[in-house]
Structure 1
């Protein structure tokens, strides 16, 4: 559309894609401003770095050494769900991005889910219901910084009113504890 309707050159369109777009009023104030590839490049670098770090930890055996003892003691689905939620929240306290709260614990626990024949959707759901939502409550996490900046108040100020953000992980852990105490019948062929 920019090429045919507005008569922009391909070089100009490429610059707009890379840097983004903005329209300014006659007084110089910004009316409309859009991202561009460069503005999202840091997120891509964080994901690539997290993947590389995870690959190094797995290939070197450090990940197994760090959590091997924990994983050996898990024998039921409920215990695995609780461990997943707590690991994801702990990763959020260590790392500054919710991407790492999903990527590293997810890869770390994937083999245990397969071993116990727990559906992969439970891994994804538990990571989303714990680490992803809690990230907005951790003041040094990028998600919390974004929320705090958007609302113009400190993270600790909105924390008590963010019921969903702290109740969902509590309910997820409670459901895992409930499943841990119940004995589930083993149904052959279900995965």
Structure 2
């Protein structure tokens, strides 16, 4: 589009693709439009490549088999299961360096802890843990791409990303409260009956 509609030279377009875009004249849009390019994303691309390779290797050699068996022997209620899902998803997000890898690994480890009819709850628990906590880990792609693009500190954004850590905590407390109310209702029903 730049070549056909804006009259840009193909060499300039290729240079912008690989090295990033820059304006020749001063403009108030300079800070917004300048930067980018394929080379600026090499570090993030390498992390994605390594994470995908690692997840495939771990799944192929069945690293998670022992962990899954141990989890199946535990008696987990809803809030404990969510807490465990959050813990495992945070570990896999740190280890896998990618949200998508963390989702795949967490699903592989925790899938058998949820019954077939709880697929919706399992998806909700992964969303409320894995998707959010991944962005708190500085070397995870969810955080790395944002901090690289915005040119901010790898750790400096964490205090401002309160949604990413407050929501999982509130969801855990809500599931605990909901379960406590259900247990109380069952006990009062037994007393009446």
Cα RMSD, aligned residues only: 4.0
8 Å Cα contact 2:19/2:37 also seen in 1: yes
Count matched residues.
Answer: 174
Q: Whole-Å Cα distance in 2 between the matches of residues 85 and 21 of structure 1?
A: 40
Structure 2 unaligned segments of length 5 or more: list them.
Answer: 184-193
Deviations 1:96-115 (A, max 9, x none): 845254443234334544x4
Q: Which has the higher strand share?
A: 1
TM-score, scaled to structure 1: 0.63
TM-score (norm 2): 0.62
- Judging by fraction of residues, say which structure has more helix: 2
Question: Aligned equivalents of 1:152 and 1:47: distance in 2?
Answer: 17
Structure 1 gaps of 5+ residues are 184-191
1:168 is matched with 167
Match of 1:150 among 138, 149, 152: 152
1:63/1:170 Cα in 2 relative to 1: closer, same or farther (>3 Å)?
A: same
Distance 1:106 1:22, change over 3 A: farther
Q: CA deviation at 1:16?
A: 2.4
Aligned to 2:3: 3
Q: Which has the larger radius of gyration?
A: 2
